[in-house]
Amino acid sequence: MARLPLPDGFLLAIHRPISAFNYYMSIEKEVQGGWQSYSTGSLQYHLVSSYMDADLRIDTKTLGKFGQRILRGLFLVIPEFLKLKIAQLIVKAVNRWYPQDNPFFRYLPGGLCLKIGKRVDRNEANALLLIDKMTSIPAPKLIGFTRDEKNNVGYLIMTMIPGVPADSVYYRMSYDERIQLAKDLGRHISEYRQIPNPHADYLICDTLGGPTTDHRTDIVQRTNLRIFLEGLEGQRDKYPLRYLYEKHHSVCFTHSDLHLSNILVLRGKFSGLVDWKSACFTPEYWEYTRAIWAHQGNKRTESELGHAFDKCYHDELEAEKFIWMANPTF
């Protein structure tokens, strides 16, 4: 097969600014059009159709608080084996009648969704209960949870909340909108930090008193992680790690995964917070450094997210960056 010659570098140099110009003009046009307005019904359909085939048509009316309480009450009294059968039946029915592309979610009538996966566990279900009971944070309401222990798969039924992931519209948000988004998020962070740890025997734990999960370490084998941490012992008294030992940090409730994809936005404003599977009680600065870890190298996002916190964790972030550089898998 004949090989075609590579484009001349001069042509690529011309193509780059033209493509960039067209891209930014399309964004400018989108921004000038403003944020799309939705009625309650059309908004719910917009949420569903963003994850489904365009031709899908289902009832998207929400159940309301009364209907949610009824369903949650039923799940509380149903035997565990029957909960699993119901969840599996829902998956089969949706796959047959309303095929969806997302393997981890099944979007259901009544403003509900079913989350499925090996990482779906009782900690997320319990975190949703705590958020619902002790805060006013817009987050999914728990309907029911069950787990297939044989296949290590969890099923979490919950409500949907209005909005789209911030990372899908962040490029078109003004700097003022981004900062306001961070400040609105910060108010909710301050609110859920007041949730007390009910497990007196454990200072750092998940919402059920078990071990915490963290994307920074969950791909590292325990033996390798222990060796790595032991290797840091000699750096404890040196910059920048010594700051972590010199400062006092309170332990508080933490979402632990404030990635832009988990922050929902509606018409350019904060509308909700999802994906609570990593929720736990950890040192206060972990929330900030964990959020920055997901956007490493993006100084602008790092600065904007700083507005969500009432304290400056610059020293703690520098210490964690040292750890990230020492072990790229961390």
| pTM, full prediction | 0.84
Residue pLDDT, tens place only, 89-121: 999 999 888 888 888 999 988 889 999 999 899
25 belongs to a structural domain: no
Extract the tokens encoding 52.
């489904």
Q: What average pLDDT does the segment 167-171 reach? A: 91
The backbone torsions φ and ψ at residue 239, rounded to the nearest 5 degrees and listed phi first, read -65, 135
2 belongs to a structural domain: no
End position of a domain, from candidates 141, 159, 177:
159
24 belongs to a structural domain: no
Are 142 and 106 in contact by the 8 Å Cβ rule? The answer is no
pLDDT at 216 over 80: no
16 belongs to a structural domain: no
Extract the tokens encoding 229.
């941490």
Regarding whether 191 and 151 lie in a shared domain, the answer is: no
pLDDT at 176 over 60: yes
pLDDT at 232 over 70: no
Regarding whether 251 and 118 lie in a shared domain, the answer is: no
308 belongs to a structural domain: yes
pLDDT at 150 over 70: yes
Regarding whether 172 and 147 lie in a shared domain, the answer is: no
Look up the domain containing 130 and give its range: 40-159
Peptide bond before 240: cis, by omega within 30 degrees of 0?
A: yes
Q: What average pLDDT does the segment 206-220 reach? A: 77
Which of 311, 123, 309 is closest to 214 using CA atoms? 123
pLDDT band, residue 3 (cuts 50/70/90): confident
219 burial (CB, 10 Å; 0-12 / 13-18 / 19+) is: exposed
pLDDT band, residue 239 (cuts 50/70/90): confident
Q: What average pLDDT does the segment 140-159 reach? A: 95
End position of a domain, from candidates 142, 159, 176:
159
pLDDT given at position 225: 59
Domain of 205: which CATH number?
3.90.1200.10
Distance between CA atoms of residues 112 and 60, nearest Å: 9
Regarding whether 127 and 72 lie in a shared domain, the answer is: yes
281 belongs to a structural domain: yes
pLDDT band, residue 53 (cuts 50/70/90): very low
**What's the sign of the alpha-carbon dihedral 279, 284, 289, 295?**
positive
Residue pLDDT, tens place only, 272-293: 999 999 999 999 999 999 898 8
Extract the tokens encoding 77.
């009294």
Which of 119, 127, 122, 115 is closest to 156 using CA atoms? 115
Q: Which residues contact 8 (CB under 8 A, 6 or more apart)?
A: none
End position of a domain, from candidates 133, 159, 185:
159
Regarding whether 92 and 58 lie in a shared domain, the answer is: yes
- Indicate the residue type of 17: P
Mean pLDDT of the chain: 84
pLDDT at 215 over 90: no
pLDDT band, residue 50 (cuts 50/70/90): very low
Regarding whether 225 and 103 lie in a shared domain, the answer is: no
26 belongs to a structural domain: no
Query: Into how many domains does the chain fold?
Result: 2
pLDDT given at position 89: 95
29 belongs to a structural domain: no
Regarding whether 267 and 221 lie in a shared domain, the answer is: yes
Regarding whether 193 and 321 lie in a shared domain, the answer is: yes
Q: What average pLDDT does the segment 218-228 reach? A: 57
pLDDT given at position 36: 72
> Which one-letter DSSP state was computed for residue 162?
S
pLDDT at 83 over 50: yes
Percent of the chain past pLDDT 90, that is, above it, reads: 48
Q: What average pLDDT does the segment 186-213 reach? A: 93
